[in-house]
Chain A
Amino acid sequence: MRAEKGTKATGSEALVRRARGGCARLTLAAAILALTLVPGLAQEPKPDPAGIATGDKTTAVDAGGNSFVVAEPTDKTAPDYAQKKKDFDEYQRQAAKEPLAVKLADSVGHVRVATNFAWTLNTGYLVLFMQAGFALLTCGLVRKKNAGHLMMLNFAAYVFAFVAYYAVGYAFQFGAVAVNAAPMNLGGTPTLNHFILGSGLWGFLGGKGFFMAGPGYDAGSNVLALFEVVFMETAGYIIVGSICERISFWSFVVCELFIGAILYPFFGCWVWGGGWLSQLGNTMGFGHGYVDFAGSTVVHATGGFCAMALSVVLGPRLGKFGRDGKPRAFPAHNIPFVVTGTFILLFGWMGFNPGSTLGATDLRISVIAINTNLAAIMGSATAMLFWYWKFGKPDITMACNGMLAGLVAITAPCAFVGPTSASIIGILAGLVVCLGVLFNDHVTKIDDPCGAISVHGFCGLLGAISLGLFADGTYGVGWNGVGAASYLGQAGRGVTGLFYGDTKQFLVQLMGAAICAAWAFGATFIVFKAVNAVKSMRVSKEAEQEGLDVPEFGFLGYPEDAIHATES
């Protein structure tokens, strides 16, 4: 998600480091503010909870990201010092001549920030609605006797993961976002600026904004918090698709707290919070560092591999594999739910990916929206045709999984590729999800009722890797603070993959994806293997046979199925 759009700004370039991250739009403005308005860098920036000090002439930029305000160059040894000084002097002269224009720029800058706030919040609301899609999709895919239980899991996921993220997750992930990046479009007040693990370009864990209070009690920070919490929730929902129909409620709540507080924020900090993976371009010369635009790995693969580990710990549902090890089908009980849920997810993804620019003033949003749709339809078409060819009939649940697979895979590269590449990525994802589902059923014997491991885990990795292959260099100039003028020896070149000339970007994508899978699977497996050893996370055999609705919650998903003596 989100780094500031490429800028050709001449002033304070050295200070501009965009982190991406869900965040991070880097900010010229913040750098300027910090240098010129705040006396002494040691003093902490003041949060702006009322939003009345956010957005002024320093946030006014043109379409190319060039700032209205020209900052005074400070490094006299820089080769372009003379030119920068000349630009600065010219700006000063013009500003003195037309003070009204400078005043007007204050309004322009405020409106720009307001536009981006509104965009980011509204796309965040779309992502929030995806939770309804997940609930319908996963509920429809399981057996009728567990429908109420599935809905409760989906609901509780939102609630408990949010609690954990509010308390510590947000601070862990974004508590240092202003160190290597600052949310420029989101206000320019760099209040979240401290790593508690690591520092500088080697940050491992953020440390400001606990309970969204203090430095987190800021209008800009809260836009980020709203947008990011619904992303985290997506990872929280993904696991439901793998662990349903057998997990007990108490252990599910522990899973959600773990995801919201630890699992998601750690990797999220490394990639979106200005952490070490995002800075590998600066520190080790790996392209633009590890890039994941909207979360193929940060959100989806994290959720998918967490789900895989939990499914291994829990074991398969009773009767899923026969005595000969052959997988048995447990058909979906409500196809209309599955299809409606999938379309809600597609709709929500129009917030997930384009919203990850964190600003409507970044006009790449239209390309992102089209790429996202192209990958979705190609993924679904591939899954339908693959099933048609292999089994003689297309399968609607696989068609839905194929659409989600395309969406997951395009999520990382959606801002950096063109329509042809987006379509190819969708086709690859459609194949990966079909093969993944068959692989888990027939080879690994990991029971994955809704295909979450294949859709989110395998296709999440595919997304990060395909960015390293297909990124065409048209977008993302200066991403993660990698020199806009020097990258690949060409000024103005954006994030570039293997097929367009940057092998190292491909390598860092492979590495980041592998680290994501290892972290999500490994940490989850270790923690919950221990939890399961203390107390079994599964419901009793009898409850599983009867259906989990009544044993766990005392109600049925479809109460009309019960005949109550008290009814007239």
Chain B
Amino acid sequence: MKKIEAIIQPHKLEEVKEALIGIGVEGITVSEVRGHGRQKGHTEIYRGAEYTVDLLPKVKLEIYVPDSRAEEIIGVLSTAAKSGKIGDGKIFVSSIEEVVRIRNGERGETAL
């Protein structure tokens, strides 16, 4: 099993969600986050004083899937989230050891 974690532009969320649902992804977890990658933040002026806006709003998606589906989902996700500009975000993939469905104690891929 894999965990696919993607940090994307907030305005791409709808498109990404639609694309994932379109290929049968059943569950996603979304959180609003702020951060920055390689791009630099910029300076703004508030009442004459400078401050930097370097932590920009992003959306983080987490998806847990069987190994067999990971590549396909990564492909669809990166296509849907792409605008081609700096700040489009990243996708991180890691292995998951165990999944438990709390309601009935199911484990492994059947619990996904």
Q: A residues within 8 Å of B by Cβ?
A: 145, 318-319, 328, 542, 545-547, 550, 554-555, 561-566
Quick one: which of A545, A561, A562 contacts B11, CB cutoff 8 A? A545
> What are 28 A-B contacts with C-beta separation under 8 Å?
A145-B57, A319-B11, A319-B14, A328-B14, A545-B9, A545-B10, A545-B11, A546-B56, A546-B57, A547-B57, A550-B44, A550-B53, A554-B45, A554-B46, A555-B44, A555-B46, A561-B57, A562-B34, A562-B53, A562-B55, A563-B34, A563-B55, A564-B51, A564-B52, A564-B55, A565-B52, A566-B51, A566-B52
The winner among B11, B34, B56 for most chain A CB atoms within 10 A is B11
If A554-B45, A554-B46, A555-B46 touch, does A565 touch B54 (CB 8 Å cutoff)? yes
For the complex, give the distance between the alpha carbons of A542 and B34 in Å.
17
Q: B residues within 8 Å of A by Cβ?
A: 9-11, 14, 34, 44-46, 51-57, 85
For the complex, give the distance between the alpha carbons of A318 and B34 in Å.
22
For the complex, give the distance between the alpha carbons of A563 and B41 in Å.
12
Residues of B within 8 A of A545 (CB): 9-11
Q: How far is the CB of B83 from chain A (nearest CB, A)?
A: 9
For the complex, give the distance between the alpha carbons of A319 and B10 in Å.
13
Residues of B within 8 A of A563 (CB): 34, 55
Chain A binding surface SS class:
loop
For the complex, give the distance between the alpha carbons of A546 and B85 in Å.
13
A-B contact sample (8 more), CB < 8 A, given A546-B57, A554-B44: A318-B11, A319-B14, A545-B10, A550-B53, A554-B45, A554-B46, A564-B52, A564-B55
Q: How far is the CB of B68 from chain A (nearest CB, A)?
A: 31
Residues of A within 8 A of B45 (CB): 554
Residues of A within 8 A of B46 (CB): 554-555
For the complex, give the distance between the alpha carbons of A319 and B17 in Å.
14
Residues of A within 8 A of B44 (CB): 550, 554-555
For the complex, give the distance between the alpha carbons of A318 and B14 in Å.
12
Residues of B within 8 A of A555 (CB): 44, 46
Residues of A within 8 A of B10 (CB): 545
For the complex, give the distance between the alpha carbons of A546 and B34 in Å.
12
For the complex, give the distance between the alpha carbons of A318 and B54 in Å.
25
For the complex, give the distance between the alpha carbons of A562 and B14 in Å.
23
For the complex, give the distance between the alpha carbons of A545 and B11 in Å.
6
Closest to A554 in B: B44
Residues of A within 8 A of B52 (CB): 564-566
Residues of A within 8 A of B34 (CB): 562-563
For the complex, give the distance between the alpha carbons of A563 and B53 in Å.
9
Residues of A within 8 A of B55 (CB): 562-565
Closest to A566 in B: B51
For the complex, give the distance between the alpha carbons of A328 and B14 in Å.
11
Q: How far is the CB of A567 from chain B (nearest CB, A)?
A: 10
For the complex, give the distance between the alpha carbons of A562 and B53 in Å.
8
Residues of B within 8 A of A566 (CB): 51-52
Q: How far is the CB of A60 from chain B (nearest CB, A)?
A: 55
For the complex, give the distance between the alpha carbons of A561 and B9 in Å.
16
For the complex, give the distance between the alpha carbons of A546 and B11 in Å.
8
Q: How far is the CB of A141 from chain B (nearest CB, A)?
A: 19
Residues of A within 8 A of B51 (CB): 564, 566
Residues of A within 8 A of B14 (CB): 319, 328
Closest to A556 in B: B53
For the complex, give the distance between the alpha carbons of A518 and B55 in Å.
48
Residues of B within 8 A of A561 (CB): 57
Q: How far is the CB of A249 from chain B (nearest CB, A)?
A: 15
